[in-house]
Every structure is written in C-alpha cells, then in structure tokens.
Amino acid sequence: MTEEYIIAGCLHNEPSAQRELYNRFSPKMLAVCYRFAQSREDAEDMLQEGFIKVFTQIHTFQNKGAFEGWIRRIVVHTCINFLKKYKKFNDSVDLANADYVYIKEETIPSIMQAKQVTECIRHLPIGYRTVLNLYAIEGYSHREIATMLDIEESTSRSQYTRAKSMLENILIKKNILEKPKAQFGWLAGVKK
C-alpha cells in the first residue's frame, strides 16, 4: 500500500488505511516519545494522543514535505504539550537551575549502544533532555525551542550546552565515547 493510498484512505476515515499508517510509523514515533517521556507508559500515552491528532488533522497535510516529517512534528509537539500539561518540568530540574545535577551512571542499563545512548539521554534532567532532544536530534533551532517551551532563546542555548556536557561525561563513563586527545579537544573520539 503506497503512502498516497494510505493518505487518501485516512482522508476518507477508513480504518484499514489508518491501521496501515499506524503500523508503518508507530515504532519510530514511539522511540521519539520515549526520549521525551519519564516512562514507557507516558510514552505510549503521548503516542496515542499524537496519532489521534495525525488522523484528525491529516487534511491539513499539503504534500510539501515528507509525510514522516509531518507526523514527527505533530508527535514532538504532542510530547511537549504532554509534559506541560502534566507539569513534568516542575517535578524535575527546572530549565534555568540545573547546573549542579549529578547523574548516577551506574543506573543506566548496559544494553545495545543505540538503546544505551537513549537511556543516557533519558537519565538527564527533564529540562536538559527536552532541549537536547529538540535541538540535537529533532533539528529545531533555539528560537523555535524558546517558542515551544516559553523560555528565552539564550536560556535554550545555555541549557543545551550544559546538557551536552553532561551527556558526554555519561557516555565516556559508559565507554561509548572516548576521552578526546589534547590536540583535538577533549571530545575527539568515538569508540566503535
């Protein structure tokens, strides 16, 4: 079933086309949600809300970009709204006051490298994690992040710098990254 056929079916509210679209994109989108969420249950709730928005707003898709990118943006916005809605930011470290957070690297499970990196990201404070996910992985600019999270653009930059530093330390301790040599800076190598 081609992507155009799926979109046409979803526009006619056909359950089979909707199921096909869900089967095709839900694994990637759940991974996105999982990086933002505190738990898998939260991630599935985010995914559910995100796909309901996809199916109800699919008539706004104008074929200007990739369909997957359009779904991904909806899911990311849903995750941000979910965190704001349930005030997850207040439960953890505030975006502006996370300078002296200590992460216990031993709590991060030793699994495959890709999943290990994900788990390392998820162990960051929620403010750091959100900015890191949006900037480094999803590709949003600091201005867009500031708009989405209702913070200053400079705050987004500083939070990203701190999040990046903290994640690098975690990855080095987990032997996923190697400490860089002096002539190239301290972050210079990736262990394969």
Partner 1 sequence: MEDNFNPDNFEEFLQEQVGNQRMYPSDAVWRDINKKLHGEKRWPALTIAAFLLLSVTVGICVHFTPKSSIFLKPGLEPISISKQPVTSDDVLNKLTSSAPFANNNNNNNQVTSSAPNIGNTDEVAEQTTNSSITDPATVNIPNENIALEQKATSRSSSAYYTGRVENYSGKDEKLVLNKTETSLVQETVNEEGLIKSTVEEASPIAQITPPSRAIVSPGEFKKDYNDKNMVDEFLKDHKNDITLYTVTKPEDGEA
Task: Enumerate binding residues for partner 1 (CB under 8 A).
Answer: 13, 15, 18-19, 22, 26-28, 30-31, 34-35, 43-44, 47-48, 51-52, 55-56, 113-115, 117-118, 121, 132, 135-137, 164, 168, 178, 180-181, 184-185, 187-192
- Strand, helix or coil for residue 154: helix
**At its nearest, how many Å lie between partner 1 and the CB of residue 187?**
5
**At its nearest, how many Å lie between partner 1 and the CB of residue 152?**
21
**At its nearest, how many Å lie between partner 1 and the CB of residue 113?**
7
Nearest CB to partner 1, comparing residues 102 and 184: 184
**At its nearest, how many Å lie between partner 1 and the CB of residue 32?**
9
Q: Is the dihedral of CA 81, 82, 87, 90 positive or negative?
A: negative
Own/partner long-range contacts of 161-169 (Cβ < 8 Å, ≥24 apart): 162/98, 162/99, 162/128, 163/124, 163/128, 163/129, 163/131, 163/132, 164/132, 164/136, 166/101, 166/103, 166/124, 166/128, 167/120, 167/121, 167/124, 167/132
Nearest CB to partner 1, comparing residues 18 and 92: 18
